[in-house]
Amino acid sequence: MHRIAAQPFEFPFQPDRIALVVIDMQRDFIEPGGFGASLGNDVGLLQAILPTVERLLHGFRAAGLPIFHTRECHLPDLSDCPPAKRLRGAPALRIGDAGPMGRVLIAGQPGADIVPALAPLPGEVVIDKPGKGAFYATALGEMLTGLGIRQLVFAGVTTEVCVQTTMREANDRGYDCLIATDATESYFPAFKAAAIDMIIAQGGIVGWAATTDQILEALDD
């Protein structure tokens, strides 16, 4: 059994049972002109974690461990996008609208792609998800079961929405979950801090938290 120095206590893991899940590192959320920016957010906060997420990816690749990438996106006819999601609020762009990077959060459009620096390699699974959580209406659970994975390390954006939602889904399904604290980010720093506090509260009610350096050190060992 290997161990990662983490909060609220060490995270024990088995190399043949662990995988990395990188959530929604998409152009629409991270690049200027995308959906995130159209909502008035500072995408620079999310861009700042790209080198750290890249380091984490390299570490898992070097260790030969499974990697899953997710993209929040919808079918071109929006049949998998509930009106309650698309019509909420008064954004400059709505899901499905034409934007600078194609139709917003539509599968196959440039903005829905993962940013080039973190592009999946052959053999790495990409999950297109219509919801915030990566288990909802996807085959992620079946894929993890098929590989015998029971422990998940999470990175990506945004911490308090899609990352935390997926961690909670995974926790309910019996997975041990760890969030890489410097490889995740929010448009709202206070929301990120609060989400991590909620994850590790009460003896790790949702999961563990560790830095990328702590995770990579354990993988190297």
- The catalytically annotated residue of 28, 73, 113, 129 is 129
- The catalytically annotated residue of 73, 113, 128, 162 is 162
Dist CA 130 CA 138 (whole Å): 8
User: 44-50 — which CB contacts under 8 Å span 24+ positions?
Assistant: 45/185, 45/186, 45/187, 45/189, 46/157, 46/158, 46/185, 46/187, 48/185, 49/157, 49/182, 49/183, 49/184, 49/185, 50/25, 50/115, 50/117, 50/118
Active site residue 177: no
Dist CA 61 CA 140 (whole Å): 19
Active site residue 162: yes
135 and 169 in contact (C-beta within 8 Å)? yes
Active site residue 24: yes
Q: In sequence order, what are the beta bridge partners of 13?
A: 2
Dist CA 94 CA 97 (whole Å): 5
| Catalytic annotation, residues | 24, 129, 162
